[in-house]
Amino acid sequence: MKKITRRNFIGQSLLGGVGLGLGLSLLPSQESEASTTQKSEYTLTRHIPIEEGYDLLVAGGGPSGLAAALSAARLGGKVLLVEGTGCLGGMATSGLVSAFPRIGDGKDLMAGGILWELIEKMRERGYLGPGMVPEKYAKPPYCWIPFNAEGYKLLLDDLVKEAGIEVRFFTKLIDVEASASEGKVAGAILHNDEGYRFVRAKAYIDCTGDATLAHLAGVECREAGRDTPNIMPASLFQYVCNIDFKRIKGGSGYLKQAVEDGFFTQPEYSLTGLYKAGKSFGALNAGHVFNLDALRNKNLSEGMMWGRKVAREFFEFYKKYVPGYENAEQIATSALMGVRESRRIVGEYELCYEDLRTLRVFPDQIGVFRYHIDIHPYKADPNVHNTTRSKTLKKFLDGEHFGVPYSILVPKGWDNLWVAGRSVSSDILANGSIRVQPVCIMMGEAAGAAAMQAIRTGTTARTLDTKQLVTTLRKQGAYLPQPVLNKEMTRH
């Protein structure tokens, strides 16, 4: 194994060549309120083993990352998938967000490819929620598709093994070597208990949810709370068992009563809901963590502790006020914070609210979907909640859906880097719709196929023939009904 030595790298272009100098400077964060001892810079020097020979490095194994890795590996790529936790699935498993929204548009099924395969394989193995049969979720009026997060983890383990993907759990991507002027990533620094590794691949896909790889590479990004005035609140999911589902009747009336009784430390006026993931247990999405800046560790750490308190209080509320929950028990809160908004890249195209409102069809669309624009209240105030929602909600009629173009996966000016999932190039309103898991899976599948196509044809993310990409995705089962295809991607 080759090794590289880390020295100061700030301000240098380090593309190409083995034995480069790389450095890791520990600088006090400017916004940090951390200890006053962090005043000066400290430079470390280390020898880091280099690993080469990969076609693709995928950072993050959530809905977009697992689809990206599967798609590329099935097209023959040598893929390394790195995931910070100990399982795949991201928010679906570590975040306990175990339900897909409706996958039909009222006339047609929008799910194909890997998304459809995941649903069907979960059904075959008995991992979907009770009563989940294709007649219910694949035909009008369609229902939400809850599933058991533990079963989903097992399925994903099997799929990545079958596809020959090298998976590294408990491994974080912590730095990137790249040239923004050339639009190229040269390699990524990974870290786990064995130390640092410098990994080179031909292509890179950022599926971290926070655009971490892209940001570290120097891609232009927008950050909630800094580039926008507000941050949508986060939520910590929880699994609750011993629920008597037959006796449940709504919850908002009970919530109003509890708020009037002074039950909550942080009064809230909205209930998002419960997914029936098993016969007597469900995934509960209740309560918000307001002003959580997921990109600042101090904030995120404090938010997790606060989130657990909020989740417990909501659990106690259900037990006390809502029929059917009297004997309920809390199984677990999620290990990952449910972040709705953090960082979004600036891509070759930015999907915007107008595109959704006008049901825009893109020649290079890699998926179609419809989901309401889900903007949560920025503070615990009923008026803020209602105003925001009523202004932005788009109601879809039967048969209506919008297109998700390839070019929102491509960071502006970059050649061997794609971003898929929540942090793609989109305005806040459009992002409020496309961040759901089915769309993230479609985006991941497309990014994986695009990366392999670029490698094989000697093209780049920006010069990719999108007609060929759409044809590949259709062959993989994707529902892409656009009548006209173009070689060029959609740009502004």
Ligand X SMILES: Cc1cc2nc3c(=O)[nH]c(=O)nc-3n(C[C@H](O)[C@H](O)[C@H](O)COP(=O)(O)OP(=O)(O)OC[C@H]3O[C@@H](n4cnc5c(N)ncnc54)[C@H](O)[C@@H]3O)c2cc1C
Residues engaged in binding ligand X (CB under 6 A):
59-65, 82-85, 90-91, 94, 97, 99-101, 172-173, 207-209, 212, 235, 285, 338-340, 421-422, 435-438, 440
Q: Whose Cβ is closer to ligand X: residue 75's or residue 441's?
A: 441
Q: Whose Cβ is closer to ligand X: residue 65's or residue 347's?
A: 65
Write down the least CB distance from residue 61 to ligand X, Å. 5
Angle between helices 437-457 and 63-74 (to 10 degrees): 30
Write down the least CB distance from residue 440 to ligand X, Å. 4
CA 359 from centroid of its chain's CA atoms: 23
Q: Whose Cβ is closer to ligand X: residue 59's or residue 73's?
A: 59
Q: Whose Cβ is closer to ligand X: residue 258's or residue 447's?
A: 447
Element spanning 66, H or E: helix 63-74
Q: Where are the beta strands (DSSP E) in 243-359?
A: 273-276, 282-285, 329-333, 343-345
Write down the least CB distance from residue 446 to ligand X, Å. 13
Q: Where are the beta strands (DSSP E) in 370-472?
A: 402-405, 417-419
Residue 61 buriedness (CB in 10 A; 0-12 / 13-18 / 19+): buried
Q: Whose Cβ is closer to ligand X: residue 348's or residue 374's?
A: 374
- Calculate the dihedral angle through the C-alpha atoms of 424, 174, 155, 97, rounding to the nearest 10 degrees: -60
Q: What DSSP letter does each residue of 93-119 carry, written as one string?
A: TTT---EE---B-SSSB---HHHHHHH
Write down the least CB distance from residue 90 to ligand X, Å. 3
CA 89 from centroid of its chain's CA atoms: 9
Q: Whose Cβ is closer to ligand X: residue 83's or residue 223's?
A: 83
Q: Whose Cβ is closer to ligand X: residue 85's or residue 238's?
A: 85
Write down the least CB distance from residue 232 to ligand X, Å. 9
Write the CA distances from 185 to 214, 218, 381, 437, integer angstroms: 9, 10, 44, 27
- Is 470 in contact with 404 (CB distance < 8 Å)? no
Q: Whose Cβ is closer to ligand X: residue 310's or residue 469's?
A: 310
What gap in Å lies between CA 391 and CA 394, rounded to an integer?
A: 9
For 226, other C-beta atoms within 10 Å of its C-beta total: 13
Cα–Cα–Cα angle for 312, 433, 350, rounded to 5 degrees: 130
Write down the least CB distance from residue 327 to ligand X, Å. 25
Write down the least CB distance from residue 371 to ligand X, Å. 8
Q: Are strands 46-59 and 2-6 parallel, antiparallel or unpaired?
A: antiparallel
Write down the least CB distance from residue 294 to ligand X, Å. 10
